[in-house]
Amino acid sequence: MRTYKTQMEAAKKGIVTPEMEIVAKKEFMDENKLRELVAIGQVAIPANINHTSLSPEGIGTGLRTKMNVNLGISGDCKDYAVEMEKVKLAIDFGCEAIMDLSNYGKTNTFRKELIEISPAMIGTVPMYDAIGYLEKELLEITAQDFLKVIEAHAKEGVDFQTIHAGINRRTVEAFKRQKRLTNIVSRGGSLLFAWMEMTGNENPFFEYYDDVLEILREYDVTISIGDALRPGSIHDSSDAGQISELIEIGNLTKRAWEKDVQVLVEGPGHMAMNEIAANMAMQKRICHNAPFYVLGPLVTDIAPGYDHITSAIGGAIAAANGADFLCYVTPAEHLRLPDVSDVKEGIVASKIAAHAADIAKGIPHARDIDNKMSDARRRIDWEEMFSYAIDGKKAREYFESKRPEDNKTCTMCGRMCAMKTTNKILAGEKVEMK
């Protein structure tokens, strides 16, 4: 029988939970060191007590950079079978988290099935679901209604919830003064802003934050404090709206920890490369080294159709400078709901960014698979190379689409293969080009 409500409470009491044991083994970290990091909030292990199929993962200081996949049902694309295909793809690629951003109809049918089968952490944004779940117009929703949706998602087994508690009257004032080029691009943030402006009330997630925390604590749900005022263009990055909200989030982080609720902090969306490192340091400082969940950052605004690349560039820089959790972006970003092919491209791009950052950060054993790949390349062992590749299926398809005469080369270099030439010389053999 559990003698604690949350992973953080257990850690503070000196208890190493089963989830901590699993994470410590995955991360090659001492269990007590991990427990200490959970106790002070620098590592979060999102693990709802009702998510029984979960394979726990840690997010934060000293751990591998984790990756999230967004999917879900929308009014224009409501094919549950296609969304479940995306889920299975994410699981097959070993993605650590899946966010169900469904915003159409009774979304709990899809979400319950997702929680039942997924070993990955499941996240949601209750604000997206509020209108459909409550069957009310935005203006008619009350503060208590919003809390009902949070509790419903928590009971179902969601491991972390994005709650935009940092946008309040103070931050809205800073946003309005700024006169942004792209205003508010957060879907949940824009709905809360609209609700606040139409009703004249404070953000209910800010006003009733203690009630939110009590619900989350009951089911050991991690709060992912959403950045409603994240920049939606490189023009708006690091502005007063973004920073004023970050300051509020720093305070909300401490309040959550006081209630033993684990925290993720969401970060900037669009940002020029030269600002990323400073933003990572600032976030960590203001939010007391809480795990940082990065949306992008997209480093240019002119690449629709290729935003998985703009995001991977920014994500790699962000993670190398302290970000702990990357949210993937697909080629369909800014254009339409991604299809299965888009999801795969987004996953691969984000996994490359996360792994490259882990190498740069010196995460234990991060380089091991690269060294294995390099050794296989030296020996020109194609099957072994395919087994180490992030997307071995695609690598095999490329190789086999233009097969060489000699299987110990590829069609790029042919007889002039550097590996083959050097291997022969080092083995004392003669090199012949004809």
Percent with pLDDT over 90 in the chain: 86
> How far from 19 is each of 10, 28, 159, 297, CA to CA, in Å?
11, 14, 13, 30
Domain identity same for 30 and 77? yes
Cα dihedral 357, 360, 365, 371 sign: positive
Average pLDDT over residues 376-395: 96
Domain identity same for 397 and 290? no
Domain identity same for 382 and 292? no
Confidence of residue 106 (pLDDT cuts 50, 70, 90): low
Q: Known binding site: residues?
A: 70, 99, 128, 164, 186-188, 227-230, 266, 270, 293, 334, 410, 413, 417
The string of DSSP codes covering 112-146 is: HHHHHH-SSEEEE-HHHHHHHHHT--GGG--HHHH
Provide the pLDDT for residue 105: 60
Q: Given the structure tokens 């020996």, which residue do they identify?
A: 379
CATH code (residue 204) = 3.20.20.540
Largest CA-CA distance found in the chain, in angstroms, rounded:
84
Considering the domain boundaries, does residue 338 fall inside one?
yes
**Is 152's pLDDT higher than 70?**
yes
Q: Are 283 and 292 in contact (CB under 8 A)?
A: yes
Cis status of the peptide bond prior to 297, with omega within 30 of 0? yes
Domain identity same for 294 and 403? no
Average pLDDT over residues 290-296: 96
**Is 75's pLDDT higher than 90?**
no
Provide the pLDDT for residue 253: 98
Considering the domain boundaries, does residue 434 fall inside one?
no
Phi first, then psi: what are they for 404, rounded to 5°?
-80, 165
- Give the start-end residues of each E strand in 296-392: 325-327
Average pLDDT over residues 174-192: 95
**Is 79's pLDDT higher than 80?**
no
Q: Are 301 and 333 in contact (CB under 8 A)?
A: no
Q: Of 433 and 361, which is predicted with more confidence?
A: 361
Q: Known binding site for [4Fe-4S] cluster: residues?
A: 410, 413, 417
Provide the pLDDT for residue 403: 84
Final residue in a domain of this structure, among 311, 335, 361: 361
Domain identity same for 402 and 353? no
Burial of 86 (0-12, 13-18, 19+ CB in 10 A): buried
Domain identity same for 387 and 271? no
**Do strands 59-60 and 43-44 pair parallel, antiparallel, or not at all (unpaired)?**
antiparallel
Provide the pLDDT for residue 297: 97
Cα–Cα nearest to 180, from 123, 227, 235, 219 = 235
Q: Known binding site for substrate: residues?
A: 70, 99, 128, 164, 186-188, 227-230, 266, 293
Q: Known binding site for Zn(2+): residues?
A: 270, 334
Separation CA 382–CA 389 (nearest Å):
11
Per-residue pLDDT tens digits for 10-51: 999 999 999 999 999 999 999 999 999 999 999 999 999 999
Domain identity same for 353 and 390? no
**Is 77's pLDDT higher than 80?**
no
pTM over 0.75: yes
Average pLDDT over residues 160-185: 96
Phi first, then psi: what are they for 223, rounded to 5°?
-90, 125
- The number of domains in the chain is 2
Q: Are 129 and 162 in contact (CB under 8 A)?
A: no
Lowest mean pLDDT among 21-35, 66-80, 307-321: 66-80
Average pLDDT over residues 223-229: 97
Per-residue pLDDT tens digits for 325-345: 999 999 999 999 999 999 999
Separation CA 111–CA 89 (nearest Å):
16
Element (H, E) at 423: helix 418-426
Final residue in a domain of this structure, among 333, 361, 389: 361
Average pLDDT over residues 386-402: 95
Domain identity same for 110 and 153? yes
Phi first, then psi: what are they for 264, rounded to 5°?
-115, 145
